[in-house]
Amino acid sequence: DMYRQQILDHYKNPRNYGELEDPDIEHVGENPMCGDTVKMFIQLADDGDTIEHVSFVGDGCAISQASASMLSGELRGRSMADVEGMDRDDIIDMLGVELSPMRIKCAVLAEKVAQDGIAIHEGDVDIEETTTE
Ligand code: FES
């Protein structure tokens, strides 16, 4: 169906793929079940809060990488608090497909990496690497 096509398209032609040169936020995470990874790069606007640029690199299944690709577009223009308030339902809505609990871990990896990266930037937590366990 249309949503599966869209996921495959993002997997094969990831948007915003690559490292940002001088990111305000850079954070990596993995799904320990499989070792798949996503690293997110976020650059903030001059107000120090609005997300201006997002990119990612990663290595993993179609759902994890497509989710990172879609999310990189979704986050632009949002505030950090807005992103921290996102939950798995937002990701499921974004992907537009029903997912098993196993696949949901794939889907939320990029979101968790972005949120943990923001939390570290804000000084809220001290995390070395995000996992979706
Ligand atoms: Fe590893 Fe999907 S199978 S993140």
Q: Does the beta carbon of 60 sit less than 6 angstroms from any atom of ligand 1?
A: yes
Q: Say what the pLDDT of residue 3 is.
A: 86
Query: Per-residue confidence at 19, pLDDT binned at 50, 70, 90?
Result: very high
Q: Does the beta carbon of 29 sit less than 6 angstroms from any atom of ligand 1?
A: no
Tokens of 44: 């903030």
Candidates 33, 56, 71, 112: which one to mutate for ligand 1, based on the most atoms within 8 Å of Cβ? 33
Query: Per-residue confidence at 52, pLDDT binned at 50, 70, 90?
Result: very high
- 110: closest CA among 88, 125, 128, 126? 88
Question: Which residue minimizes the CA distance to atom 4 of ligand 1?
Answer: 106
Query: Per-residue confidence at 129, pLDDT binned at 50, 70, 90?
Result: confident
Average pLDDT, stretch 89-101? 95
Dist. CA 38–CA 115, nearest whole Å = 13
pLDDT at 133 over 80: no
Average pLDDT, stretch 67-88? 97
pLDDT at 6 over 90: yes
CA torsion 117-122-126-130 (nearest 10°) is -20
Average pLDDT, stretch 26-43? 97
Dist. CA 88–CA 110, nearest whole Å = 11
